[in-house]
Amino acid sequence: MKRLPIVIVLAFSVSTFAEDTERFDALSHDITRRAAEQSKTSARQAIDITTKQLGNVLFHKIELILDANKPVYEVVFFKDGNEAEVEIDASNGKILISEPMPNDFKNPDPNLRPALEKSKLSLAQAIEAAQQKHPGASIVRAEADASAGAPAFTIELLKDNAFSTLQVAANAEVKPAPQQTNRDERAWTFDRDPTGKPPPGWTFGYTTPAEGKARWTVEKDAKPMSGPNVLNLDAASGSHAFNLAMADGTRYDDVEFRTRLRANTGKEDQGGGLIWRCSDPNNYYICRLNPLETNFRVYHVVKGKRTQLAGVDVKAEAGKWRVIRIKMLGDHIQCFLDGQKLLDCRDKTITTPGMVGLWTKADASSSFDNIAVRKALPTKSDDVPAVAPGAPAKRDPDGDDDD
């Protein structure tokens, strides 16, 4: 049998998807729905395609994602003792990439491979058992776990536009997975919104409105990260104006909020970021990235006056997508850039719940995409210190989404 060679390439799509969802369920579900709509290959067929090309391998994960508006299965397996991945175009069943798994994305459980080798149930058989319980459902994610000794499988299904999760034991017994805590999540990808218009559900305004001149519209993008549309800001505001987009109906105090940001143009200012605990256009917190100043900062704005709380110098340039995420619990603020915690400070200035939204200054014209918000919960990683800019991010001790 002719075998596809394993070649080392940059793990772009893996890191892109991890950064793009960061385990915000509302966002990942919206992206996965679009992928499922375009997919013509099932998860079981993707496993068969991999087996045909590479021979007998030990599968432990498969996930359907949307990569640059293309549905893709990421299939992860062990072969000859090493962990590797195949990416399959779900629209036509063709293999796109075959590569070793990057160290940052390898499964950390040393017991997983031995447990799967001894198991009488494979990932493919676990998928079949789940589909027998839910005929007609699409398998969008399936993953093996050996933390309890014998392998168990988590299967996520999509049927009639609704997601559900099952657990399949090593004896093929199928049970519903325990319900997770409701995190009061919302997400915006803009991929179903009409282009050339402001998106519904958002209110736009300014701090220092006399100098405000900006236009927010949904537009098709030449280089989308997950879907065809992004939210564009074309700004020509004066130097003292802050351009705001506020998400209607949001009200959070403890909050986790993220966006994908691309700085497009701006002679006086560039970039932008997130606002939260916003009561009106003159009172809120901001975390923003500025490529012109090559820095990443967090502020509060009270009665229209901005005060810096923390900042760090970072390398940044216009034209590249970056992921900004903030988490605020009580008075504790943490700010992340591309998964690295770069800012960590405390502030008690604004304590009341408020809206979340987007922000730029003056003539900073930027694009935003794959925005998500949820109620923040405490985790062990809240105590992990911020990393120095440019230093590798450390994995969180509790395995949550801060890495």
Name the packing angle between helices 12-21 and 25-38 (round to 10°). 130
Written out in words, the top-level CATH class of the domain with range 186-383 is mainly beta
How much is the pTM?
Answer: 0.86
For residue 20, what pLDDT is reported? 52
- Top CATH class of 12-176 equals alpha beta
What is the band of 16 on the pLDDT scale with cuts at 50, 70, 90?
A: very low
pLDDT for position 22: 61
Q: What is the pLDDT of residues 23-47, one digit of tens each?
A: 799 999 999 999 999 999 999 999 9
High-pLDDT (> 90) share of the chain, %:
82
Helices (H), 309-399: none
pLDDT of 391? 65
**Taking the domains of the chain in order of start, what are their residue ranges?**
12-176, 186-383
Q: What is the mean pLDDT of residues 37-64?
A: 96
What whole-number distance in Å separates Cα of residue 355 and Cα of residue 374? 12
Mean pLDDT for 259-275 is 97
In angstroms, the CA 298 to CA 46 distance is 44
pLDDT in tens, 387-400: 877 665 554 443 33
pLDDT tens, position by position, 86-139: 999 999 999 999 999 988 788 989 999 999 999 999 999 999 999 999 999 999
Q: Are 120 and 127 in contact (CB under 8 A)?
A: no
Note the pLDDT of residue 390.
Answer: 63
Task: Flag the least confident range among 176-190, 196-210, 250-264, 347-361.
Answer: 176-190
CA distance 334 to 286: 12
Question: Quick one: pLDDT band at residue 149, thresholds 50, 70, 90?
Answer: confident
Strand ranges (E), 146-213:
152-159, 162-168, 174-176, 186-188, 202-207
- Tell me, what's the pLDDT at 394? 52
Q: What is the pLDDT of residue 13?
A: 34
Residue among 293, 288, 374, 398 nearest 335 (CA): 288
Same topology for domains 12-176 and 186-383, yes or no?
Answer: no
Q: Which residue has the tokens 């001894």?
A: 118
Cβ-Cβ contacts under 8 Å for 347 (sequence gap 6 or more) = 285, 300, 309, 331, 333
Q: What local confidence, expressed as pLDDT, does residue 104 receive? A: 76
297 vs 313: CA distance, rounded Å: 9
CA 68 to chain centre: 14
